[in-house]
């Protein structure tokens, strides 16, 4: 993985010192809250309902054991013993004191981490496929390009005060595991007919109060042109993006209002001035960054094939976990392991300090010291020998980390909601917990198959409800919580925005409504191979609406 | 003429140093318990707590100062808005690591 060079160390240290001074001056009363707020936000510090919140960047979701141990240490020393992994592959601490944040940032810098640009109207942490560098279907590792973008965008003077926040995601294969079509810029690594590496470029995707899928503006951009072309997009957005209305300031609105053809032409015109200039990436620089992400030396471990078969036969729980949470690695003797942070009835994305320590230890023992954070709020060990799966599973079991539900109905994304968030209108976590408990039986989950439920506690859509197969949006109506359901959303390469079913449901009704939807799917699917989203796309919303609202129709 | 009874109000904020939710008490100090908040039952009292809030903000003791409406119950003051009830009582969920430990034992 990437290691800081002297410049990176000096840059982060200078920023820690600068912000420490700003915090000291704020605490002494030298600067007002109005002056301090934009400074703290630039350093990832929010004020929520109960306390400050610190959002720490995990670039493209990649961590090593030492870094995870530091996150555990921070949770234990400065917070309440846990952290929350988010849909942007970051971690949030819910209870840090402002007076402790300089010390926390100093500790993070020791392990090459920071909280810079995790808030504010700038280019945020660049996200990537969590299976990067290991997936069997990968064209190329997206992380070197995410790292190039990170270096280029960090305190970029031209792009630090954009009309609104800006999110870039990179995926390395046709199968989109980074949800690129709901990002401001989405990049898909691919090869052209001559075998050259480059990107399909998408712009203008986003969720929030106006969900819009991105438009592809280039089918192939050579890798050397990554920064010059991205700069062209940013310049056009920075110039024309609306600053009069924060709700219309994202690039998706600019694309929508201007039209993709005209905007694309403006980007191409801007790029014409930039493409052969200093932003063109030299092959040597790309190669240098790529060396940081060289895959670990994976020695053949063919004995794992036979062992795995025997273990699966003798332990149904292990077999179930392998079936759900283990995916093929490009090396046949290895696998990618998803560590679910969705225990039945638990809080999606939360991990205790002890669990973080356990994951760090297991990554070092079994997974070449690599950990990933997924946008679905789980963790991944990307390089585990088949021969090590059984001891890994045993260890995960003891730490409450072996829930076999990756991709199933209880693998729910949920934002912190009104239990923590100052922006929220309704709670998300209790809804996720009740659904998880209702469907927690392993047999029932397996029968239902792949089904992604995503829950947001407000219109900002941090819980990605617009792209949930079943999306749930919490709103406040007449002072009470109400939950709107949308169906048919998807955040993968066949991206779609979910459609609202009708009137919302009260907290006591929402789990029953989800069960009605699931039962309708089970009654209508052609066979067990037809997933929920496939079934929905075939039969449409009407059977689900009829099931949800039939009693009202009869009453009328 | 029918008169509308004013809803009782309290002053709330977050402490500058650690962000913890606080309410203005009758003794003029900020308290971490809503039960100890000063209850403003008439317009003059509301004006007084608003002034106290402005001063505390200017003195850099608290941030995000707001007057909120509560109902007086036998159990103490109860905010009308769920958001404010959650601020007063803490998250409604049994958050980690206690919850994680229980799940671990159940597994």
Residue bearing tokens 């089918």: A219
Describe the strand order of the beta sheet including A45-47 as a list of residue ranges: A45-47, A52-56, A91-93, A82-85, A350-352
pLDDT value at B4 more than 90: no
At residue B98, the pLDDT reads 57
Work out the pLDDT band at A551, boundaries 50, 70, 90.
confident
A191 touches chain B (CB under 8 A): no
Work out the pLDDT band at B105, boundaries 50, 70, 90.
very low
CA–CA gap between residue A541 and residue A556 (Å, rounded): 21
At residue A552, the pLDDT reads 73
CA–CA gap between residue B40 and residue A225 (Å, rounded): 64
Inter-chain residue contact A397 with B107, CB threshold 8 Å? yes
Complete domains list, chain A, with CATH: 6-110 (3.90.480.20), 142-292 (3.30.413.10), 303-398 (3.90.480.20), 416-555 (3.30.413.10)
Question: Which of A78, A347, A422 has the most B C-beta neighbours within 10 Å, making it the best mutation to test the interface with B?
Answer: A347
Work out the pLDDT band at A554, boundaries 50, 70, 90.
low
Prediction pTM value: 0.96
Cβ atoms of A84 and A91 within 8 Å: the answer is yes
Inter-chain residue contact B87 with A50, CB threshold 8 Å? yes
A293-314 mean pLDDT:
96
pLDDT value at B104 more than 80: no
Q: Where are the domains of chain B?
A: 8-106
At residue A1, the pLDDT reads 84
Rounded to 5°, angle at Cα A290 from A117 and A387:
100
Work out the pLDDT band at B106, boundaries 50, 70, 90.
very low
Write the pLDDT tens digit of every residue in A349-385.
999 999 999 999 999 999 999 999 999 999 999 999 9
What is the token pair recorded at A442? 């392993």
Before A186, cis peptide (omega within 30)? no
Q: Output A138-142 pairs: Cβ under 8 A, ≥24 positions apart.
A: A138/A172, A138/A173, A138/A330, A139/A172, A139/A173, A139/A174, A139/A189, A139/A190, A139/A191, A139/A197, A140/A172, A140/A189, A140/A197, A141/A172, A141/A290, A141/A293, A142/A60, A142/A170, A142/A171, A142/A172, A142/A178, A142/A187, A142/A189
Inter-chain residue contact B19 with A352, CB threshold 8 Å? no
* Cβ within 8 Å of B, A 366-425: 397-400, 402-403, 418-420, 424
Strand-pairing partners, residue B11, are B67
CA distance A103 to chain B (A): 14
How remote is the C-alpha of A75 from its chain's centroid?
Answer: 21
Write the pLDDT tens digit of every residue in A508-547.
999 999 999 999 999 999 999 999 999 999 999 999 999 9
Cα→Cα distances A464→A170, A478, A492, Å: 18, 25, 12
Residues of chain A contacting B59 with CB distance shorter than 8 Å: 29
Q: Is the ipTM of this complex over 0.90?
A: yes
Write the pLDDT tens digit of every residue in A52-87.
999 999 999 999 999 999 999 999 999 999 999 999
The whole-chain average pLDDT of chain A stands at 97
A412-435 mean pLDDT:
98
**Of A398, A358, A400, whose CA–CA distance to A381 is shortest?**
A358
Work out the pLDDT band at B107, boundaries 50, 70, 90.
very low
């Amino acid at each position: 993985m990437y290691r800081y060079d002297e410049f990176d160390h000096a840059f982060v240290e200078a920023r820690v010192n600068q912000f420490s001074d700003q915090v000291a001056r704020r605490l002494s009363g030298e600067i007002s809250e109005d002056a301090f707020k934009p400074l703290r936000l630039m350093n990832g510090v929010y004020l929520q309902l109960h306390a400050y919140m610190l959002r720490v960047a995990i670039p493209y979701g990649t961590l090593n054991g030492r870094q995870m141990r530091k996150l555990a240490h921070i949770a234990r020393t400065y917070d309440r013993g846990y952290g929350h992994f988010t849909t942007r592959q970051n971690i949030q601490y819910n209870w840090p004191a402002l007076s402790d944040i300089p010390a926390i940032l100093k500790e993070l810098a020791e392990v090459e981490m920071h909280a810079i640009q995790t808030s504010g109207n700038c280019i945020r942490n660049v996200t990537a496929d969590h299976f990067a560098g290991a997936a069997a279907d990968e064209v190329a590792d997206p992380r070197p390009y995410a790292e190039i973008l990170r270096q280029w965008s960090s305190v970029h003077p031209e792009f630090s005060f954009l009309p609104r926040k800006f999110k870039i995601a990179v995926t390395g294969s046709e199968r989109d595991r980074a949800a690129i079509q709901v990002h401001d810029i989405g990049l898909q690594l691919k090869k052209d007919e001559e075998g050259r590496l480059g990107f399909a470029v998408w712009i203008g995707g986003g969720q929030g109060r106006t969900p819009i899928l991105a438009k592809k503006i280039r089918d192939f951009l050579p890798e050397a042109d990554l920064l010059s072309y991205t700069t062209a997009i940013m310049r056009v957005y920075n110039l024309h993006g609306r600053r009069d209305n924060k709700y219309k300031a994202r690039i998706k609105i600019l694309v929508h209002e201007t039209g993709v053809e005209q905007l694309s032409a403006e980007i191409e015109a801007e790029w014409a001035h930039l493409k052969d200039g200093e932003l063109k990436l030299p092959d040597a620089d790309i190669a240098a960054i790529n060396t940081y992400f060289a895959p670990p030396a994976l020695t053949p471990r063919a004995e794992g094939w036979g062992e795995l078969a025997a273990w699966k036969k003798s332990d149904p729980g292990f077999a179930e976990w392998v079936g759900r949470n283990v995916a093929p690695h490009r090396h046949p003797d290895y696998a990618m392991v998803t560590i679910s942070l969705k225990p039945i009835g638990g809080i999606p994305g939360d991990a205790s300090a002890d669990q973080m320590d356990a994951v760090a230890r297991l990554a070092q023992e079994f997974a070449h010291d690599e950990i990933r954070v997924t946008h679905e709020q789980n963790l991944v060990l990307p390089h585990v020998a088949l021969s090590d799966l059984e001891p890994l599973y045993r260890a995960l079991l003891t730490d409450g980390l072996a829930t076999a539900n990756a991709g199933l109905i209880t693998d729910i994304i949920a934002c912190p909601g009104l239990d923590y968030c100052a922006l929220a209108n309704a709670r998300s976590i209790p809804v996720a917990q009740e659904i998880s408990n209702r469907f927690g039986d392993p047999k029932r989950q397996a029968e239902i198959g792949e089904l992604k439920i995503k829950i947001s506690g407000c219109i900002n859509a941090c819980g990605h409800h617009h792209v949930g197969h079943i999306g749930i949006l919490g709103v406040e109506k007449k002072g009470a919580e109400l939950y709107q359901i949308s169906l048919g959303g998807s955040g993968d390469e066949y991206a779609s925005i979910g459609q609202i079913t009708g009137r919302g449901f009260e907290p006591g009704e929402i789990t029953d409504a989800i069960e009605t939807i699931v039962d309708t799917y089970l009654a209508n699917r052609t066979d067990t191979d037809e997933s929920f989203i496939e079934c929905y796309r075939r039969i449409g919303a009407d059977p689900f609406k009829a099931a949800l609202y039939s009693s009202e129709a009869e009453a009328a | 003429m029918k008169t509308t009874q004013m809803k009782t109000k309290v002053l709330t904020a977050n402490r500058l140093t650690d962000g913890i939710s606080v309410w203005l008490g009758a003794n003029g100090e900020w308290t971490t318990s809503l039960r100890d908040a000063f209850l403003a039952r008439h317009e003059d009292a509301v004006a007084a707590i608003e002034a106290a809030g402005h001063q505390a903000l200017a003195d850099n003791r608290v941030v995000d100062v707001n007057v909120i409406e509560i109902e007086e119950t036998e159990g103490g003051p109860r905010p009308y808005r769920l958001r404010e009830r959650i601020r007063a009582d803490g998250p409604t969920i049994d958050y980690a690591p206690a919850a994680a430990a229980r799940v671990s034992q159940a597994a």
